[in-house]
C-alpha cells in the first residue's frame, strides 16, 4: 500500500456490497478512494446497478458468492489489499433460523479471516454493530456511552450473539501472520441504527403508515433515545478506516469504533418522523397508545404465532419481544474515538442526511409525492 497517492494500484473487496450499507460503501469508494485500481463486489445476490459502475475508470468486478463457502471467499480475497467485510444476515424478525444466522455471520466471518491469512491480505475492516454491546436483555440504558463505557453486554437473540462472536474473531485475528509473514491488521466498526436511502425498515414503516391512512401510532415513549447514524457517514467511516489502517496499524489494529454523526438523539419513532413527517405521515399520540404490558403481550403472541405458523407460512411482524425491548431501551453513543484515531468527521451534516433521506422516501413506489 506504499504507492504514491495518485497511482491507482489498490484492490479492495467489499463483501455484502449489494446490500443497503454495502452499496453506499461501494459508491463511496469509487468516488473517494483515488488509489483504487480494482473494486471487487462480493454478494450472494448481485444487483443490476453494478453494471453501470463498470463503465468508470476503476475496474469493478462483480462476484456472486456465499461467505459460508470458504473456497468462494478465498478466491475472491486472493490478491486484494483490503477486505471490507459487510456481508451479514440482519435478522431480528425471525425470517432465518438461529443456525443460519450463526453460519452466515460467524462462520462467514471466520472464512473471511482465514482467506486473508491464506492469501496474504493484510487489512480487514469488519462491519460490526452497536448490538454487540446492547441493549442487553436486562434493558439497562446506555446513555451517551463510548467505546470504553462499562456495560453488561448480555445477549440471547441470535443476531446480536452472532455479531458479538464475529467481532471477537476479527479482533482476536489482529496480529496473526498472513501468508508472506506480515501481520494481519483488523478493526471493527459498530454502527448504531443506520438510516438513509435504501433502508428497508424505514420503507416498511412508510408503507405501514400509508396503509393506515397516513398515520403511525406511537408505541415507544418519546423519552427513550435511540442512536442513529446516516448511511453515507457509516460508508465514509469504512473508507477512511480502510485507508488509514496501514499507516496507523499500531494504533488502530484490534480496535472498535462506534459509527456516529450529528443525527439528533430521539426515540426510534420520533426520529423516523423527521423523514416520514415531511412525506405526509403523522405520528398519533404524545404517549404510547397501548400500555407496555399490552404491547409485550402482543409481541409475545406474535412470537407464538410465528412459531405455530412456521410449518405453513413465514410470519415476521415488526413487533416481537426483541424489537420491543430494543426500541424501549435508551442506547445512544457520544464519542470522538474515530476522530482521534483516524481523523473522521461526518461527511454529511444532519441537514443533508435528512434531506437525502426525505428525497428517497418521496421517490418510493406508492408515495403521494
Ligand atoms: N442496518 C443496520 O441498522 C445495521 C447494520 N449493521 C451491519 O451492517 C452490515 C450490512 O447490513 P445492511 O446493509 O443493513 O444489511 P443488508 O441485508 O441490506 O445487506 C447485507 C448484504 O449481505 C449479503 N449477504 C447475506 N448473506 C450472505 C452470504 N451468505 N454471502 C454473501 N453475501 C451475503 C446480502 O445479500 C446483502 O446484500 C451487516 O453486517 C449488519 O450486521 C450494523 C449496525 C446497524
Ligand atoms: C423494528 C424496531 C422498531 C419497531 C418497534 C415497535 C414494533 C414497537 O414499533 C427497530 C427498533 C430498533 C431497531 C434496531 C436497532 O436500530 C439496532 C439494530 C442494529 C443492527 O445491527 C441491525 C438492525 C437493528 C437490530 C435494528 C432493527 C430494527 C429495530 C429493532
Contact 209, 283 (CB under 8 A): no
13, 25, 87: residue to mutate for ligand 1 pocket, most atoms within 8 A of CB: 87
Question: Does residue 159 carry a catalytic annotation?
Answer: yes
In a domain, 42, yes or no: yes
> Which pLDDT belongs to residue 193?
96
> Which pLDDT belongs to residue 134?
83
**What ipTM was predicted for this assembly?**
0.98
Contact 113, 124 (CB under 8 A): yes
In a domain, 286, yes or no: no
Q: Which residue has its alpha carbon closest to ligand 2 atom 24?
A: 193
In a domain, 210, yes or no: no
> Which pLDDT belongs to residue 54?
92
Segments of the chain with pLDDT less than 70: 1-6, 368-369
In a domain, 69, yes or no: yes
In a domain, 326, yes or no: no
In a domain, 181, yes or no: yes
Q: Which residue has its alpha carbon closest to ligand 2 atom 7?
A: 319
> Which pLDDT belongs to residue 258?
98
The CB-side HSE value for 158 (13 A sphere, CA atoms) comes to: 19
| Residue pLDDT, tens place only, 340-354 | 999 999 999 999 999
In a domain, 44, yes or no: yes
- Rounded to the nearest angstrom, the distance between the alpha carbon of 327 and the centre of ligand 2 is 6
The pLDDT mean for the chain works out to: 95
Which residue range forms the structural domain that includes residue 174? 10-201+227-265+333-349
Nearest Cα to 189, choosing from 6, 41, 4, 25? 25
> Which pLDDT belongs to residue 160?
95
Q: Residues lining ligand 2, CB < 6 A?
A: 90, 92, 129-131, 193, 201, 219-220, 268, 318-319, 323-324, 326-327
- Rounded to the nearest angstrom, the distance between the alpha carbon of 319 and the centre of ligand 2 is 10
> Which pLDDT belongs to residue 298?
97
> Which pLDDT belongs to residue 3?
46
> Which pLDDT belongs to residue 369?
64
Exposed, middle or buried: residue 74 (CB in 10 Å: 0-12, 13-18, 19+)? middle
Exposed, middle or buried: residue 25 (CB in 10 Å: 0-12, 13-18, 19+)? buried
In a domain, 234, yes or no: yes
Calculate what percentage of the chain has a pLDDT beyond 70: 98
> Which pLDDT belongs to residue 137?
77
Peptide bond into 90 cis (omega under 30): no
Helix ranges (H only) for the chain are 20-32, 50-53, 70-77, 98-102, 108-119, 158-173, 200-211, 231-244, 249-252, 268-276, 292-309, 321-327, 337-342, 350-362
How many C-beta neighbours within 10 Å does residue 50 have? 18
> Which pLDDT belongs to residue 284?
95
Cα distance between residue 261 and residue 259, in whole Å: 7
Number of structural domains in the chain = 1
Of the residues 159, 257, 268, 344, which is catalytic? 159
Q: DSSP letters along 294-306, please? A: HHHHHHHHHHHHH
CATH number of the domain bearing residue 21: 3.40.50.720
Block residue for cell numbers 453486554? 153
Q: Residues lining ligand 1, CB < 6 A?
A: 16, 18-22, 43-45, 66-68, 86-90, 104, 108, 127, 129, 163, 191, 193-194
Cα distance between residue 47 and residue 45, in whole Å: 6
Amino acid at each position: 500500500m506504499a504507492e504514491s497517492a495518485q497511482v491507482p494500484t489498490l484492490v479492495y473487496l467489499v463483501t455484502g456490497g449489494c446490500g443497503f450499507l454495502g452499496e453506499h460503501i461501494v459508491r463511496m469508494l469509487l468516488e473517494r478512494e483515488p488509489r483504487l485500481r480494482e473494486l471487487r463486489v462480493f454478494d450472494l445476490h448481485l444487483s443490476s446497478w453494478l453494471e453501470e459502475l463498470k463503465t468508470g475508470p476503476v475496474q469493478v468486478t462483480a462476484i456472486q458468492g456465499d461467505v459460508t463457502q470458504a473456497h468462494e471467499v478465498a478466491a475472491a480475497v486472493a490478491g486484494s489489499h483490503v477486505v471490507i467485510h459487510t456481508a451479514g444476515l440482519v435478522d431480528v424478525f425471525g425470517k432465518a433460523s438461529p443456525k443460519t444466522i450463526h453460519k452466515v455471520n460467524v462462520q462467514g466471518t471466520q472464512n473471511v479471516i482465514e482467506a486473508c491469512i491464506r492469501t496474504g491480505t493484510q487489512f480487514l475492516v469488519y462491519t460490526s454493530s452497536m448490538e454487540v454491546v446492547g441493549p442487553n436483555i436486562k434493558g439497562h440504558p446506555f446513555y451517551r456511552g463510548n467505546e470504553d463505557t462499562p456495560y453488561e453486554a448480555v445477549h440471547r437473540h441470535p443476531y446480536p450473539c452472532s455479531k458479538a462472536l464475529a467481532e471477537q474473531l476479527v479482533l482476536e485475528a489482529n496480529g496473526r501472520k498472513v501468508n508472506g509473514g506480515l501481520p494481519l491488521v483488523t478493526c471493527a466498526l459498530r454502527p448504531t441504527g443506520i438510516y438513509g436511502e435504501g433502508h428497508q425498515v424505514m420503507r416498511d414503516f412508510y408503507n405501514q403508515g400509508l396503509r393506515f391512512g397516513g398515520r403511525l401510532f406511537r408505541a415507544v415513549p418519546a423519552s427513550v433515545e435511540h442512536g442513529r447514524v446516516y448511511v453515507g457517514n457509516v460508508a465514509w467511516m469504512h473508507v477512511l478506516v480502510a485507508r488509514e489502517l496501514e499507516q496507523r496499524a499500531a494504533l488502530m489494529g484490534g480496535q472498535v469504533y462506534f459509527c456516529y454523526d450529528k443525527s439528533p438523539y430521539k426515540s426510534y419513532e420520533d426520529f423516523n418522523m423527521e423523514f416520514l413527517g415531511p412525506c405526509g405521515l403523522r405520528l398519533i399520540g404524545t404517549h404510547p397508545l397501548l400500555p407496555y404490558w399490552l404491547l409485550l403481550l402482543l409481541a409475545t403472541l406474535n412470537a407464538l404465532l410465528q412459531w405455530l405458523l412456521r410449518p405453513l407460512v413465514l410470519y415476521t411482524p415488526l413487533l416481537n419481544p426483541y424489537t420491543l425491548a430494543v426500541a424501549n431501551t435508551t442506547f445512544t453513543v457520544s464519542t470522538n474515538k474515530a476522530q482521534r484515531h483516524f481523523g473522521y468527521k461526518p461527511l454529511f451534516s444532519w441537514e443533508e442526511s435528512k434531506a437525502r433521506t426525505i428525497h428517497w422516501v418521496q421517490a418510493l413506489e406508492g408515495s403521494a409525492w
